[in-house]
Chain A
């Protein structure tokens, strides 16, 4: 076949479908609740696992909304005084700890081991100043070995002072600049514990016998990770995780260890450049040098409670062939890896009748390219992007209760310049 770059999709129906989804901002931003004053309600609800299983959970709802897993992603500005009012509709006292923020003052409720707690039916309130930008976590400080497992965990993102949505940075330093950002909050669940909580047999829960069989990114198992954010059939799991970008984009992945286990988070297509941990850049002179100690990681070991900022930047570098199928004299695409410009694809593809097709094959090996496909094949990749898996490299964690594939896995979509996958637009529209 070896068809040359066939140009963007010409289907009028598909173009109309994409347009109907509306135009989001240029850069993909993480879904969440933006502000400095938050009202959460700890309440119950059931999530849907990747195998269709319904799992009873406890979670933080935004205001008096639905229980959600994970809790609302709090997006605050550096220097702001953050207030979180917590109401508790659960049968146990609950609380919130904000690791890396401090000092946190609390009022109301009653004293707890790690934070003041809202008793069942009660309230309490936490206040802290978000002194430093970065990626952070929050979770229950009350029986966390049970309540984090039950779902009382979420992400906190502190935007640096002077944050510019047109030129976003994770930290003050230009070395943390990015075009698109994506959250990977990693958790696990042992449904036995949740069954006891549902039946009210809390006294029969032994958290030391914990044995997770579901693994989540942003509260969803694969393949649901790749659905749009806010899809109506996952009302308690509003966040997706399907990073999309273009060649050369700096895609900021904010990894958070939300559960109890360590997860080796691996990206296909390229390494990630680890620039920060626990809300602090990897720098030789703190506050001065920027991420000069950043390291390229094949796999980022995401430890529970810890956070990591990593930049994924894909250009197709060193593939040895032109990802667009350009002739040497053709103009360059933005973000294209110049040394491979015009280099031919090195193999001759077999004839179509000798191939098995995946739903994401566009009929062409070239980025943005379209080719002939047999009737009924393809169709899940209308912009002819490249799909790269990112997943826990503990392959057992790519299952949903022993069914492969699933679990802690998603796809990263690299689209040709100017193209934007339909799910990305849905995600941008779905953000609250």
Chain B
């Protein structure tokens, strides 16, 4: 930034109303961010005063929700320049810096020469323009470069991503889907001090952040169990995980059930990927890693430094699940149950099912029958679960949930629940259950889940 005021003047002169997230179609991605106070409610009910960013559809529109972390800024592959127009609704000056993206910066100094802001400040109530003219592919963190010891902790951070080409993170690194996993922490003492009438700083109860001691631990702004499993992709897909750490402590994300191909860090590729199930995620670092899970399920990702509590209560903290779901899926809450016990059965259907279809649920039993409440008793064989479903709008998948009690008189063994989506109004030619699979005529999608009855 040579001069934010000059840029602002130019921007105002142009008076172009820009869509928030969309590029202009030329070579510049432009985002309208607003810094504003908000609050996050922790799982234990504690409300934490935060500062966050909102993405507005136009400068001054004030129409985006304030979130922590701030909105993910997606720079289109052809856009060389990233521009952020910042509106400041906070009581102190703020700015935006993005380590790893090169731009000229104008630090602001206090009267005694000490740097107060790494980049030109946007005054309270004012607006500023920040530009990165040579935006290179990668994953980055943006955050406030002003009074950073306080403002970053208060929540003024978010992710930036830019791909080399559509669905290609870097040249030669294609992916099917991607997901940002942004780790951060909260020490409520700071937030309470900033929000208190006396505020924070010299002469107040809290004069510095030297005793920083976080006790809430967030992934994408949520502490367990606030987040439902995050849909990450389909079995067999290449899924790019974009890890980022906006906190002040080193985190070691671990995915115990998968190996990650760790591609690089800070937006740059390693010469060779590294196969690891842990990731070294130091403060303000970003790490890109590919996973390619073949099996469906919810894969836990958590902080192996064990930030897994919400203050003194446990479980909590940095624990999330990566949902790897086929477009049609049957899941059970247990893979082994005793007779007399209850378990739940979920059938999940995704928007990938665009044509009319029927869903069939079949149970392969070694002996004895289950009662699946939707349609009475289920025996070995095939029966419709429900019919003429017309595909699903958002949310991504729809769940049909069943609570099933295992009869006491049932024969122990493996019971397999088969679910098939079948072209609407057709009957698959099935003589035996073994015929039911993805290749069966009229079957669009198919899934199975075994449960052991003990």
Contact = CB atoms under 8 A, between A and B. Distances in A.
Q: Do A and B bind each other?
A: yes
Interface of A: 97-100, 102-108, 111, 113-114, 141, 143-146, 148-149, 205-209, 257, 260-262, 277-278, 280, 282-284, 286, 293, 301, 303-306
Given A99-B277, A100-B277, A278-B276, A144 B306 contact: yes
Contacts, number: 109
B13 interface: no
B258 to A, nearest CB: 7
Given A105-B335, A111-B333, A284-B272, A305 B252 contact: yes
A278 B278 contact: yes
Interface string B302-338: 1011111101101101010000000000000111100
B256 A114 contact: yes
Given A105-B335, A144-B306, A261-B305, A306 B252 contact: yes
Contacts of B118: none
B308 A102 contact: no
B257 A103 contact: yes
Interface residues of B, number: 39
A6 B42 CA distance: 71
B306 A145 contact: yes
A102 B257 contact: yes
Contact of B274 (A208, A282, A303): A282
A262 B282 CA distance: 11
Nearest to A114: B300
A275 to B, nearest CB: 13
B295 interface: yes
A301 B280 CA distance: 10
B257 A207 contact: no
A306 B311 contact: no
A257 B306 CA distance: 12
B272 A146 contact: no
Given A98-B256, A206-B311, A209-B213, A304 B335 contact: no
Nearest to A102: B257
A304 B306 contact: yes
A83 B335 CA distance: 17
Given A107-B452, A260-B305, A293 B272 contact: yes
B168 interface: no
Given A145-B309, A260-B306, 5 more contacts: A106-B336, A114-B300, A208-B311, A209-B215, A306-B278
28 contacts: A99-B277, A102-B256, A102-B257, A103-B257, A104-B257, A106-B335, A107-B335, A107-B336, A108-B454, A141-B256, A145-B307, A145-B317, A206-B215, A206-B309, A206-B312, A207-B306, A207-B308, A208-B214, A260-B306, A262-B252, A277-B274, A278-B278, A286-B275, A303-B280, A304-B252, A305-B254, A305-B277, A306-B276
B268 to A, nearest CB: 17
Nearest to A261: B305
Interface in B181-215: 213-215
Interface of B: 213-215, 250, 252, 254, 256-259, 271-272, 274-278, 280, 295, 300, 302, 304-309, 311-312, 314-315, 317, 319, 333-336, 452, 454
Contacts of A105: 335
Contacts of B307: 145, 208
Contacts of B335: 105-107
Chain A, interface SS category: loop
Interface centre among A98, A206, A282, A303 (most CB of B within 10 A): A303
A257 B271 CA distance: 26
Nearest to B321: A113
A207 to B, nearest CB: 5
Contacts of A257: 252, 304
B132 to A, nearest CB: 31
Interface centre among B277, B305, B308 (most CB of A within 10 A): B277
Contact of A208 (B215, B256, B275, B280): B215
A145 B314 contact: yes
A100 B256 contact: yes
Contacts of A206: 215, 309, 311-312
Contact of B304 (A106, A205, A293, A303): A303
Interface centre among B254, B272, B275 (most CB of A within 10 A): B275
Contacts of A207: 306, 308-309, 312, 314
A113 B276 contact: no
B314 A146 contact: yes
Contacts of B271: 284
A283 B270 CA distance: 12
A118 to B, nearest CB: 13
Contacts of B258: 102
A14 to B, nearest CB: 46
A174 B271 CA distance: 23
Contacts of B276: 277-278, 280, 306
A81 B40 CA distance: 46
Contacts of B302: 114
A98 B308 CA distance: 18
